Amino acid sequence: MPLYDWSQVAKEYLNPQTTRQVIHAENITVAQVHLEQGAIVPEHSHMNEQVTFLMSGRVKLVYPDHEQIVEPGQVIQTPPNVPHRLEALETSAAIDVFAPRRNDWIQGEGGVAETAEPAGLIHST
């Protein structure tokens, strides 16, 4: 079974204020995201369910019908196909889990290209 080390997973610079590290498993994608205060993830939607665990900082998620402030230790679920945007109210770190996995990222859309060897893979049995 694969074991990953975040310190070995390549950082992708989505813009000067936002980086992410991504691991694609068979059925899910896990991303570690770092946002500087004031960073904005523009409105978008995707066919994947998204669960976000905020590890540090504060963010505001904006949905069509409401806004939600998320603080450290809180988890928010975004259903598939729901438009949303994010604003980092403070420098923040989050773990995002997507199901099914983000094949659009694997195919090179959204700033991510697949590598021949999974980045950060320590061990696979």
Task: Please give the domain boundaries of the chain with CATH numbers for all domains.
Answer: 3-123 (2.60.120.10)
* pLDDT given at position 116: 30
For 76-96, how does the pLDDT look when each residue is reduced to its tens digit (9 = 90+)?
A: 999 999 999 999 999 999 999
Q: Is the pLDDT of residue 26 over 80?
A: yes
Q: How far apart are the first and last CA of the chain?
A: 5
The CA distance from 39 to 58, in Å, is: 11
Encoded tokens for 100: 């099914």
Give, in order, the Cα–Cα distances in Å from 95 to each of 20, 54, 87, 115: 9, 7, 15, 21
The CA distance from 57 to 62, in Å, is: 17
Compute the C-alpha angle 76/14/111, nearest 5°. 95
Of residues 11, 27, 15, 28, the one with CA closest to residue 120 = 11
User: Band of the pLDDT at 118, cuts 50, 70, 90?
Assistant: very low
